[in-house]
A and B are shown apart, each in its own frame.
Chain A
């Protein structure tokens, strides 16, 4: 039988998929790697300006924390429906897979709607990318207007990913019969990644800026 060394040469000698995944799936993984670095750069940049400035902690339990927690629940549940879609597709049950994918896209759309309402609350309070509401500036003297820039920048970038993901999923659902199982798995990879990014955005943007009333 082949030794370990021979096995390795065989793997990388051409004619087989050394990673045991198709090229498209490998491509999606590479995209996810680069996108995760984009988001880490944004979040690290946010942490940088936050550590070196007076930072407001304005999020009240209602509406901000309630909304963002429900949004987290929606996004986590959409990941579960996506897993169910991939699992149905692996059992060759295309119609079930299609329903689960549409359910995922609907949960994604719910996330966008909830997030827009949450944005509107803050905009109505007077938060813009370049200025804090007058009330906040009074409560946290010397606080930096970068709060709005990082908040809208990071959550907006994430919302854009959710939006693109919804379109991607609907296209996959529409073409489910023509696509291979692996293509459905790849759309799942993207969707789970969007969920994963929110797992960092939610605590860093929302939970670390809770107004717990002890300031």
Chain B
């Protein structure tokens, strides 16, 4: 097995592949900037921007950082742990963030009606 490991060729992609990944990253960035100037509700903006950013991050990790050409066990060690941690942070933070927004809205509404 170890002999096999030593002879295993470490494919790392061609320059042509990297340039096409770079062009894709530029296209996605251009799309994101364009999106900022068409008047979308902020929630759609957030979802589309995050979607595009996750695609860009995946392209960088997979091709520029060579993770696609590494062994599967390295990928499985790195990616799920980070994704799960981020999801846990989101789950803990966001319900509370929306709760305090609602509290603010509740405070703001009676004050506005009483004032006029």
A residues in contact (CB < 8 Å) with B: 2, 7, 10-11, 15-21, 26, 29, 32-33, 36-37, 40-41, 44-45, 47-49, 51-53, 61, 65, 69, 72-73, 76-77, 79-80, 82-84, 86-87, 90, 185, 188-189, 192-193, 195-196, 199-200, 202-204, 207-208, 210, 212, 214
Among B33, B52, B56, B97, the residue within 8 A (CB) of A69 is B33
* Docked pose: A25 CA to B11 CA in angstroms: 16
Q: Is the CB of B57 within 8 A of A199?
A: yes
A188 to chain B: which residues have CB within 8 Å?
64-65
Contact residue range for chain B?
A: 35 or more
Q: Is the CB of A203 within 8 A of B86?
A: no
Residues B15-74 near A (CB distance < 8 A): 15, 18-19, 22, 25-26, 29, 32-33, 35-37, 39, 42, 45-46, 49-50, 52-53, 56-57, 60-61, 64-66, 70-71, 73-74
B73 to chain A: which residues have CB within 8 Å?
11, 18-19
Known contacts A10-B1, A79-B22, A84-B15; is A208 also within 8 Å of B49 by CB? yes
B residues in contact (CB < 8 Å) with A: 1-2, 5, 8, 10, 12-13, 15, 18-19, 22, 25-26, 29, 32-33, 35-37, 39, 42, 45-46, 49-50, 52-53, 56-57, 60-61, 64-66, 70-71, 73-74, 77-78, 81-82, 85-86, 89-90, 93-94, 96-98, 100-101, 104
Prevailing SS type, chain A contact patch:
helix
Q: Is the CB of A80 within 8 A of B104?
A: no
A44 to chain B: which residues have CB within 8 Å?
86, 89-90, 93
User: Smallest distance from the beta carbon of B17 to chain A beta carbons, Å?
Assistant: 9
A-B contacts besides A73-B29, A192-B65, A203-B52, 11 pairs, CB < 8 Å: A32-B78, A44-B93, A76-B29, A79-B64, A80-B18, A83-B15, A200-B57, A202-B32, A207-B49, A208-B46, A210-B36
User: Smallest distance from the beta carbon of A40 to chain B beta carbons, Å?
Assistant: 5
* Docked pose: A208 CA to B86 CA in angstroms: 20
B82 to chain A: which residues have CB within 8 Å?
33, 36-37
Q: Is the CB of B32 within 8 A of A52?
A: no
Closest A residue to B81 by beta carbon equals A33
* Docked pose: A107 CA to B89 CA in angstroms: 33
B97 to chain A: which residues have CB within 8 Å?
47-49, 51-52
Q: Is the CB of B65 within 8 A of A2?
A: no
